Amino acid sequence: MTELLSASVKDTLLKPLFETGWQLDEEGKTLSKTFTFADFTEAFAFMTRAALWAEKWDHHPDWSNVYKTVNVRLTTHDMGGLTSLDAKLARKMDQLLT
């Protein structure tokens, strides 16, 4: 079963994500990032690639798309906060940019 990240694990696991622009909310329960692309097609292609991984891992983001911008929020709803699944999907989303 997936567990909430402890404070020490959270610091270690999330630090590299903060360096790529991810942000933690005030309560420490949600990771968020805004991705900006050249146009709508690139933004939608990114969402499609990310959706395949989200479905594979059965861990789905809260996200929205307006033209060339994709806003992403990650949390594990049934656990009420951040788990390793959130960090894993955030890392994958960053990897999909390259």
What is the domain-level CATH number for residue 49? Answer: 3.30.1360.20
pLDDT tens, residue by residue, 36-81? 999 999 999 999 999 999 999 999 999 999 999 999 999 999 999 9
The pLDDT score that the predictor gives to residue 16 is 96
Q: Tell me how many domains the chain contains.
A: 1
Looking up tokens 């079963």, which residue turns up?
Answer: 1
The pLDDT score that the predictor gives to residue 1 is 57
Is 72:62 a contact under the CB 8 Å cutoff? yes
Q: Please indicate, yes or no, if residue 1 is contained in any of the structural domains.
A: no
Instruction: Tell whether pTM > 0.85.
Output: yes
Is 70 exceeded by the pLDDT of residue 2?
Answer: yes
Is 60 exceeded by the pLDDT of residue 7?
Answer: yes
| DSSP letter, residue 4 | B
Domain housing 90: 7-95
Q: Please indicate, yes or no, if residue 91 is contained in any of the structural domains.
A: yes
Q: Please indicate, yes or no, if residue 57 is contained in any of the structural domains.
A: yes
DSSP lists the bridge partners of residue 74 as 31
> By C-alpha distance, which of 81, 78, 43 is closest to 63?
43
Q: Please indicate, yes or no, if residue 46 is contained in any of the structural domains.
A: yes
